[in-house]
Structure 1
Amino acid sequence: MEEVDKILIHALRQVGTLLSEEIDSVKQFSSELIVEAVVRCIRVIDPGLGGALPTSLPPGMSARFRVGMSLAQACQDVGFKGEIGYQTFLYSHESEIRSLLMFLVEKLPRESAEASDQPTGKSAVLQRSIAAAIRSQLAISWVPPNCRLPLHCEAQNRGALHSLRVQPLSVPHGAKGFDRKHLKEAMDYRRDVLPPVTAQISSRASLVASILEQHTTELSAAQEWDNEWKSQGLLSRLTPQEYRSRKLARLHKRIEEQLRSATAPPPDGAFGVSRSTSELSELLQTFRGSAPSNDILSKGTHFTHTQKFSFTLETTAIATSPVLAGRQTEGDVQLRQQEEIAALQQQFQQLCSDVDQLAAEMKRAGVTNAQVLDELKQRELGNVELEEKLQVKRRTISLLPDADGNLLKLQTQVESSAQRVVNLASQWEKHRAPLIDEHRRLKEICSNKDLESSRKLSEIKSLHEKIRVSTEEAKKKEESYKQLVTELESLPKDVSRSAYTQRILEIVGNIKKQKEEITKILSDTKELQKEINSLTGKLDRTFAVTDELVFKDAKKDESVRKSYKYLAALHENCNQLIQTIEDTGTILREIRDLEEQIETENSNKSVSNLQRILDDYKAIRQENAALAAKIREG
């Protein structure tokens, strides 16, 4: 059982049970440890069922009984068929606990049992070392820098408090997509101009973060392109370069549309603008500079330029009369300026109203012009139709003097036209049949090609899926191999494989010897039973023959009659002796069974369990008395 207990203890440690290194057998498990191990296993098997179970026993006896009953019910729910109850956890029995733990360990899912141990591969070693370092740092209480001792300075130095900042890096990639000229220029740039990665950053503390960010960006872009090409690119039936160029063209077109919609003036009375358009307009406004919004992208007309020029002349004339302004007082100057401003505003309003009137008149004139143009087109079309009708009538009138001859000519012409139409129809039928056959053949070829391309596309998708699954399996196997290699390296070197092999062979040899001895004992028992059965039959037959012979002579001779009585008494005494021997063997077997039961009960710690039961009974009585006292007081 030692090997079984070691396997069980290893599996329980994998699922998170806190077992000390001194425990190497199920016999050493306490009630609290049994409860914790069972709850951990149930949580791995069925998280919904084990989430409500506590991992430790409460102090109260009634609560312990309830926890034991809930654990027994949970074990039955996960499929345990053996006899189980609260006594299995509170008054533990070694064999019952071993069988229960063996069932739970066998019930553990393989993936979770493997994943619950540790991650695999080289990353596992790195993660374990990182976790150990973090745990060791968290175990040390934090103290201010001025109060730190040399022990704290090792893990709480100021050098570890700098912030990580990511900076863009320019990393040379492969020469794919370059022609010879551009390839040479790119190589010259990378060799002579492009600085190394360590020189592209401002602080060495951000080197690792920048490289990791660059690598993550490239890796995510490659994965996104791979997924997009497998999902949409293959369906487009284009090459990767054509698909990329078409996607880039669509992107450029969308950007141009967004820019046009952003730079276009909003319609009159439209106050609500979408958030994206307003943000893009603000961005374009920042690109244009700090000029007023009225002057941006405003082409202007000759009238506006004339008005601006006249206003500029008037303002300059006002500004260039300092002698007149110097002769007047300051109040007169302000009053005159206000009057001029009012006059200018009135003039400006008048000009604006004139402009509005002119614009309205232009709109009306444009509408009238469009209506006139439409009417002119309609009349021109009517004139064309009338001219055609007039020509037909003229030709008809010219044919009236010789109506009979013209009718004959017309009939012959109609017949010739009909014959020509029939000839053309027959010729068309001759050409149409092979064309229809060719069309059907080409259509069938096209459909076959479509089916073939669809089939090949599905095969390509299935191959991609198989490649992905095979890659994942290869990665898992490689990580498992690396983990096994690391575990092999961590194992002690003094124990050789031959020692384990020799031990296994010795166990197998002992099992064979035990089987041979059991077979020998069974064969001896069968032979003895056969001999006993043959002797019993021989004895019965001998007694029957002797009884018959003696009984015949007993009728004639008195001495023979006494011999017959002695023979019957001897046979009865022999039967009693045989029955006594059989009873003695049965009693001896019962004695051995009772001795084994006594040993089993002694190994089950029945006396200690009875004592624990009595103590628990007393504790329950005390709890009941305390509860009754509380009820009476209430």
Structure 2
Amino acid sequence: MEEVDRILIHSLRQTGTEIGEDVESVKQFSSELIVEAVVRCLRVIDPPLGNGLPPSLPPGMSARFRLGMSLAQACQDLGYKGEIGYQTFLYSSEPEIRSLLMFLVEKLPRASTEASDQPAGKSALLQQAIAAQIKAQLALPWVPPACRLPLLCQTQSAGVSDAFRSLALSLPPAQGLGKPPVKGQSVCPSVYPDGASEQLADRVNFHSNAEVADYCRDFLPPVTAQPSQHASVPASLLERHALELSAAQEWENEWNSQGLLTRLSPEGYRSRKRARLRKRIEEQLRSASQARPSAQHAPRTGPDPDLTQLLQAFGGATPGGDVLAKGTRFTHTEKFTFTQEPEPSGQQMAVASAMPSSRQSEEALLAQQQDELQALQQQLQQLALRTEGVCGDIKQLTVSITQVSDEVKRRELGNSEKEDSVRVKKQTIDLLPDAENNLDKLQTLVESSAKRVVSLASQWEKHRAPLIEEHRRLKELCSNRELQSSRKLSEIKDLHDKIRQSADEAKKKEGLHKQLVTEFENLPKDVSRSAYTQRILEIVGNIRKQKEEITKILSDTKELQKEINSLTGKLDRTFAVTDELVFKDAKRDESVRKSYKYLAALHENCTQLIQTIEDTGTIMREIRDLEEQIETENGKKTVSNLEKILEDYKAIRQENSALAAKIREA
């Protein structure tokens, strides 16, 4: 109990209770100290509940009773289940006060529990710093603008707020937020998934690595200078970081869900996806070429044309001015970038010469521009209508071509069947003039074919059995390998999950470690934790020794009980055998009859003696229990409490008499 009392006293001192250095046990607590300790704990646990209670006993007895009842009700509101009342504080006993203080100390908030409830990591530290700063600013009183100091002007003035505007940033190859450079990636990596930008860059071959490095070194501006407004830099960086994280998460999810099932490496999986995408592009280009058959014979320049030449060959722009119904962003960019401006014709020169001079009025110039704009819009509408009509004709022709192709295939199948039947009939007609000889030849041929079939069947059976066994063996081996591969695949998935979980746990533990280190640095260094640790270890050692002693006593008691049971049984058996033998001889001999009576008397006396010993043990246990109860009652300070009650009773009588005298005087 001494260690428990020391821990309780230390905890109460931390709550602000003024406990003297000579107080080392709860037994030494006075009523005033008990009330102060309980009120301080209540103020820490529930400030609204404890702030309305005074930390010291009032001088009047009635006020003391009311304070004791209020403290008892407050402790019951917190969840204290023991017996409590005003007598607990005014006429206290050591066990009741110790249990009450232990309950209150356990209810005190702990810094460790608060830290464990909060998320660990840099974000938690940032939130704590922000909360501390906000609390510090809220603690400052509000001052009118005319009376504010420079610090108050910074904290209480309305700051400039900007909207969240994010712009696309150009970064070096793979130089994202904290990523190393990767060779062969474009200057401005796209955010499209599955590496579409890499495939397009590989197909077009727009820049080399040296040119990219030169551009990034000499011409690419820094990230902070790329947005037009400086306030857009954080928003752009956050947006870029979110895009990179989402792309990495999508790739990881796709690899875990689909990539592992292919049993390929990540590079092989990407190359296969690239090949599939290239195949789909070729199929789309072939479908476009079928829709425009006149463009199939367009000349190609070089063995490996670029994307523009392929689009021109498979339904792209023609010299006649026809264009595709829908272009891509790449083709539009290339068209506007690499298309040379044609030389002005004679008609255009004439139009240019006919332009109004600077002396013409601005209204005439605007009217002419409006007329030209309307004419161009009419031409554009006409071209759109023509394009829609041509697209409809192409669709109809495609459907008709498909129908004709199906009809041709069906007729070709019918012709092949008719040709086979005609060939058989022709051979039959050729054999009719010499039918008998042909029948004999056919019969001999059939018999020889049957014999040959039988011999081939016997030979096949000889080869078939080992082949079937080999097939079954290979099939079983294949199934075993498939099972092994599926099991290994599941193990790989489990390992990936475990690695991911371990990485997450490691991150959490690193964040928790940083947070704990920060909190440890902020804690006061004058507290000696080794002393409390040593005390706790001593308490644990004492408890362990007590458990060992209790276990030893229980084992000894069990052994003694077993020995007593065995001796009792042996005694009963011995007496039964002796009684039987003596009883047989007692019928014939008078001296043996007296011996039998003595034996019965001895057995009865022994039984009474054993019962007396058991009663003595029971009485001794009751005596020990009564002594413990006496010690407990002595610990409750019943005599001193009775003296206090008498003194309080006399004080109450004096107060009542004084109040009665005042009433009579009034």
TM-score, normalization by structure 2: 0.47
TM-score, normalization by structure 1: 0.49
